[in-house]
Amino acid sequence: IDVQTEDELGRLADTLNGMIARLEEAFKKQQRFVADASHELRTPLAIIQAEASLALEKKRPQADYGRSLELVSQEVAHMSDVVSKLLLLTRSDAGIEPLDFDYVNVADLLAELSQDVEALAQEKGLVFRLGPMDTMKVRGDRTKLRQLFLNILDNAIRYTPNGGSVTGSLERNEGRVVVSIRDTGIGIPDEHLPFIFDRFYRVDKARTHTEGGTGLGLAIASSIAKMHGGEIEVESTAGAGTTVRVTLPLADTQSRPWTAPTPIGIIEGPKE
């Protein structure tokens, strides 16, 4: 709306223009998401169809059938993983993802995770270590918080070359818990940083699902952080590593956890 005045009509036009721009961006993101999701699922479906057609074409040795079924099973597992993560994000957006809130000791949770992560790091030839951590509690869903930190740590290990390191630290900052995960990996170019929490966004466009990952890990981590009234910040330099900071309210100062608004058509029943 092209209005050149600075009166009430001009301000109204600016407001409407802003709303229209946000709607247009939302539509574009939705289109990208549908296209990316279709591509992510189309590839394993094509592999399954090809393997099934090959197996049915003529009689083959028993070992060939076994290899075909193993490949089909792997592709089905990948699709199940993608669908499961998409359902989690959809429920989160709608505010209906079930949460079991309790007091969670973040230091204990990270120490528990470190046992699994250290094995992955050693397998890849990386050094993994956690710094000093004081006892600090947040109010949250332990399973979801575990998934949040595991996704970030998995990314750090995945994109850090052999001989590098991944470190974690926990500190208190003005009534909030700050968990920092640092790696000496390949880093993220500046032009990609604004989009890394978008669903299916990959910095390396050439990477396929067979190389691991679905492009949903950081989107899920961000969603879980928001469920707990927190946020995630990323600092990175291409070729010099990445630092991811997760900030969550301390249990003794936390306000009511963030939840998405109740979608139209869903009416909550009476509370006991």
Q: List pLDDT tens digits, range 160-182.
A: 999 999 999 999 988 899 999 99
Confidence band of 252 (pLDDT split at 50, 70, 90): low
Contacting residues for 224 by C-beta, under 8 A, at least 6 apart: 92, 144, 145, 147, 148
User: How confident is the model at residue 32, as a pLDDT?
Assistant: 67
User: How confident is the model at residue 36, as a pLDDT?
Assistant: 67
Which of 24-28, 103-107, 172-176, 217-221 is predicted with the least confidence, judged by mean pLDDT?
24-28
Fill in the amino acid letter for 194: P
Residue 10 CA to residue 3 CA, distance in Å, equals 6
Give 7 or 26, the one with higher predicted confidence: 7
Q: What angle do CA 219, 225, 228 make, to 5 degrees?
A: 145
Q: How many CB atoms lie within 10 A of CB 172?
A: 11
What is the C-alpha R_g of the chain?
23
Q: What is the mean predicted confidence (pLDDT) over 206-234?
A: 79
Give 246 or 255, the one with higher predicted confidence: 246
Confidence band of 228 (pLDDT split at 50, 70, 90): very high
User: How confident is the model at residue 262, as a pLDDT?
Assistant: 40
User: How confident is the model at residue 212, as a pLDDT?
Assistant: 56
pLDDT for residue 132 is more than 90: no
pLDDT for residue 1 is more than 90: no
User: How confident is the model at residue 263, as a pLDDT?
Assistant: 39
Q: What is the mean predicted confidence (pLDDT) over 152-158?
A: 92
User: How confident is the model at residue 257, as a pLDDT?
Assistant: 47
- The pTM is what? 0.69
pLDDT for residue 266 is more than 70: no
Which of 66-75, 201-210, 227-236 is predicted with the least confidence, judged by mean pLDDT?
201-210
DSSP 4: -
Which of 20-34, 41-55, 179-193 is predicted with the least confidence, judged by mean pLDDT?
20-34
